Amino acid sequence: MAAGNEVSTTYYIQHHLQNLTFGHHPVNGWSLAHSSEEAVEMGFWAIHLDTMGWSIGMGLLFIWLFRKAGRVATSGVPGGLQNAVEMVVEFIENLTRSTFHGRNPNIAPLALTLFVWILLMNTLKIIPVDFFPVLFAKLGVDYMKIVPTTDVNATLGMALGVFGLILYYNFKVKGVGGFARELSLTPFNHWALIPFNLVLEIVSLLVKPFSLAMRLFGNMFAGEVIFILIAMLPFWAIWVLDVPWAIFHILVVTLQAFIFTVLTVVYLSAAHEHH
């Protein structure tokens, strides 16, 4: 019996942590994966449909909310949505003004997009862990992870996008020669230490997207695992633990969106600075 419970528990955890994966299987061809083993066998180019779908959905929700707030905006007494949007916009404006030291009108909109988009994706974690998997199972879908930021592919994809902007603005603002000199002569401004500087600076540069991705993924994934573990407890214990953890996690999901955004602005600010 104990062995059966252990298998059941392991299956429950693995099932909730498995993405809905579509790709080319060596045997089944183009198909949905029906197990984690099939998902692995599909290789690098397999797509996590749930991650893509929910992240795009949250992006569209962000656009719809802000567009609606803009259309109903009034100079008189604002409504609840207008108040919320204005608070977020003002918060991001203050953050960008205090953190970004260059001149680029694209940084504040980028920061706003990142913050709200990540916040919306993170907030999906507050929905009970069994709700959507059970709902989609009734529709014939075996797996459904609804929080995109618990998928390292999503967080790494966003981080690589930021990394591309870091490289772009470094080359645009400083030029190829200026960026090369910065990598070669920082932190030690001496020709004999150029190899050491290059190793140090290149490693530091490459760590930025990795740290951005893993910080967000690690915190969200750990929270997801805890929610799953709580869901396996007796009914009375679920309410005792799940509600306080969900309330605490509201702070976590907001904080992680803020950290990703502020680090992005800091990195892009550094890309606009001459040394």
Active-site positions read 211, 215, 219
Partners of 25 in the β-ladder: 29
Q: Which two tokens stand for residue 3?
A: 């062995």
Distance between CA atoms of residues 266 and 96, nearest Å: 9
Closest CA to 201 of 270, 100, 101: 270
3-state SS assignment for residue 24: strand
44: CB partners within 8 A, 6+ apart: none
Q: Which two tokens stand for residue 159?
A: 């981080």
Closest CA to 184 of 196, 170, 198: 198
Q: Which two tokens stand for residue 47?
A: 């797509």
Characterize the bridge pairing of strands 21-25 and 47-48. antiparallel
DSSP string, 62-75: HHHHHHHHHHH--S
Query: What is the SS3 string spanning 85-132?
Result: HHHHHHHHHHHHHHHCCCCCCCHHHHHHHHHHHHHHHHHHHHCCCCHH
Closest CA to 149 of 113, 111, 117: 117
For residue 49, the one-letter residue type is L
